[in-house]
Chain A
Amino acid sequence: MSEKLTLRLSRVGTILLVIFTYSIIYLPIVIIAFLSFNASSRDQIWTGFSFVWYREILNNPRLLEAIQNTLLIAVLATLISTVLGTLFAIGIHGLSRKQRLKIMVLNNIPVVNPDIVTGISLLLVFSLLPLSFGFQTMLLAHIFFCIPFVVLSVLPKLKTLDPNLYDAAIDLGASRFKALWLVIIPSIKVGILAGSLIAFTMSIDDFVISYFTFGDGFQNVSIWIYSRLGRRTFSPSVYAYNTLVVFVTIVVLSLFNLFGKKQKSIKGEKI
């Protein structure tokens, strides 16, 4: 066998393996998308193409409310955790190396902790506080688990900055607040944006921690789906919702990649 042929075969093998792997990963998503267009309300039987379940989202008040809750929590938790996480990261960055390492351990524990531990501990803490379970507890929980991720994505960006940047702004007559607002924040905006996107996705698909902190009829989508599973009230609208989420994700990711590439090509001009 010639070397060329072997090379070609191994290349074909690689391509086949990649196709196989990715089809397995994406198969469930494709199935859900497929079922979301099924006119039948029973899962396995295809009775025709239809948008009925997409319309159903708007007509099912409980599901609609759960979607609204999910988005409300995600948006608020993202905003608050981005602001707090960015400030924390700036503060941590200003510490000495030793102190920074110590505090980063504290920051990273919630990241690696299993959700179930976080959920139960928050449940305990919240029940000790004069808080009624529902919107406020779920929001607090989401802010809590999002902050470390924002810190983790902002901190590396801060490390790449010139260490004298803040002093330079002060030197040119900016107050401390202005130095932060006009110089530091704009210089790390890529990190802040990335952090907020991670926070948003973490919040929007959380089930475990939300399950321990919901109440008072305030449900997000994941809890709503869980409570309907296997029941008659379960509706293929869930598939439609999931498909929409995947669609939005793909669009956002593509835009992000395009935007990122543009940035890179600007950097490339440097030489």
Chain B
Amino acid sequence: MKKLIDIQNLVKQFDDQVVLNNINLYINENEFITLLGPSGCGKTTLLRLIGGFETLDEGKILFEDKNIADIPAHKRPINTVFQKYALFPHLNVYQNIAFGLKMKKMPKETIEQEVLKALEMVKLKGYESRNIKTLSGGQQQRVAIARALVNKPKVLLLDEPLAALDLKLRQDMQYELKEMQRALGITFIFVTHDQEEALTMSDTVVVMNEGHILQIGTPIDIYNEPKNRFVASFIGESNILPATMIKDYKVNILNTEYTCVDHGFGEQTPVEVVIRPEDIELKPAQGGIEGLVTDVIFKGVHYEIIVMVGTIEFIIHSTLSQTVGTQVSITFEPEAIHVMRR
């Protein structure tokens, strides 16, 4: 794989407030990369810096090994799908999509061909002369995607493009976007605060918080091996517990010794462990970590069961229900334990 964008030591401030602090990130060709984080973490600012809508204070952004700091936004081979689509209200669907090609002064016939092709791709054939105000949210979204992709950019930036859609439509669009990205072979840089969206669509997920990158990895890595407490709790529900690493492959959780797969933390080191709710199995009280079932909530596919062990609350996802008030043992496999530095 070839590096397409290489961001080095990037710093961005707004009025003395550091919004991006020493960001290092590279993006490969044909990659679907997602910047994931809570609002205010700097993910949109990073996207706008790549698009050229903001200027950076320190560091470099290399595009195909060339620094693009001085290339204005309208000359970058990058297009954007904006948060609320930013469609031009005075132009119809056709004119909106044709805008970029017109700016490039392409001949009329070529523009027409390309626009019709783009409309077909986003399944809006026949909508050419529609006023954009008469389109639904989902249709406007498709026009915005077509308007960007018709320019054949090397990179497509997407700033929370699905946030305004309802759940069903959002899931359909996730699938379609992924398909488009595969078919066109364009690099997608996707910004979202929705962890499920990030895990479903991406090749690589970049978890951000407070202007820092916390972890970069595949969705599976990020989910199974979160680097710290923030990543663990932001990506899905999890039980995060204080523990002590006795030695390699041995960890003490709530005064019970467990075998685990982690090593390299030293001996008798205080750590935190993450155990995902679906990795816990409840058994009738038999020693080990024991607790009281206090709540059982039906969630459709599974039950969410709350077990109190002293003052510590465990969340368990299981297809088997439990009776509130029973004493149970909390058990898990060595692979389910993920140790993090405290």
Contact of A172 among B72, B79, B84, B133 (CB under 8 A): B79
Q: How far is the CA of A182 from the CA of B201 in the complex (A)?
A: 35
A267 CB–B CB distance under 8 Å:
yes
A130 CB–B CB distance under 8 Å:
no
Q: How far is the CA of A175 from the CA of B105 in the complex (A)?
A: 13
Q: How far is the CA of A183 from the CA of B74 in the complex (A)?
A: 14
Identify the interface centre among A164, A167, A169, A171: most chain B CB within 10 Å of its CB: A171
Q: Are A168 and B73 in contact (CB under 8 A)?
A: no
Q: Are B103 and A171 in contact (CB under 8 A)?
A: no
A165 CB–B CB distance under 8 Å:
yes
> Knowing A167-B80, A168-B80, A270-B133 touch, does A173 contact B86 (C-beta < 8 A)?
no
A64 CB–B CB distance under 8 Å:
no
In the assembled complex, how far is the CB of residue A171 from the closest CB belonging to chain B, in whole angstroms? 5
CB-contacts of B56-114 with A (<8 A): 72-75, 78-80, 82-90, 99-100, 103-104
CB-contacts of A140-180 with B (<8 A): 161-165, 167-175, 178
Q: How far is the CA of A173 from the CA of B53 in the complex (A)?
A: 13
Q: How far is the CA of A182 from the CA of B83 in the complex (A)?
A: 21
Quick one: CB contact mask for B26-57 with A, threshold 8 Å, 1 for yes? 00000000000000000000000001110000
CB-contacts of A171-223 with B (<8 A): 171-175, 178, 182-183, 186-187, 189
In the assembled complex, how far is the CB of residue A182 from the closest CB belonging to chain B, in whole angstroms? 8
By beta carbon, the residue of chain A nearest B147 is A172
In the assembled complex, how far is the CB of residue A193 from the closest CB belonging to chain B, in whole angstroms? 13
Q: Are B88 and A168 in contact (CB under 8 A)?
A: yes
In the assembled complex, how far is the CB of residue A175 from the closest CB belonging to chain B, in whole angstroms? 6
Q: Are B84 and A162 in contact (CB under 8 A)?
A: yes
A3 CB–B CB distance under 8 Å:
no
B239 CB–A CB distance under 8 Å:
no
Q: Are B82 and A164 in contact (CB under 8 A)?
A: yes
Q: Are B88 and A187 in contact (CB under 8 A)?
A: yes
Q: Are B88 and A173 in contact (CB under 8 A)?
A: no
B134 CB–A CB distance under 8 Å:
yes
Which residues of B have CB within 8 Å of A175?
A: 74
Q: Are A172 and B100 in contact (CB under 8 A)?
A: yes
Q: Are A266 and B151 in contact (CB under 8 A)?
A: no
B218 CB–A CB distance under 8 Å:
no
B24 CB–A CB distance under 8 Å:
no
Q: How far is the CA of A183 from the CA of B100 in the complex (A)?
A: 12
Contact of A168 among B52, B78, B86 (CB under 8 A): B86
In the assembled complex, how far is the CB of residue A136 from the closest CB belonging to chain B, in whole angstroms? 37
Q: Which 5 A-B pairs have the closest CB atoms?
A: A172-B100, A173-B103, A164-B86, A168-B86, A164-B82
19 residue pairs A–B, Cβ–Cβ below 8 Å: A162-B82, A164-B83, A168-B82, A169-B88, A170-B72, A170-B73, A171-B51, A171-B73, A171-B79, A171-B80, A172-B74, A172-B103, A173-B100, A173-B104, A187-B89, A266-B131, A266-B133, A269-B134, A270-B133
Known interface pairs A172-B99, A172-B147, A189-B90; 6 further A-B residue pairs with C-beta atoms within 8 A, sorted by A's residue number: A162-B89, A164-B84, A165-B88, A170-B53, A170-B73, A186-B88
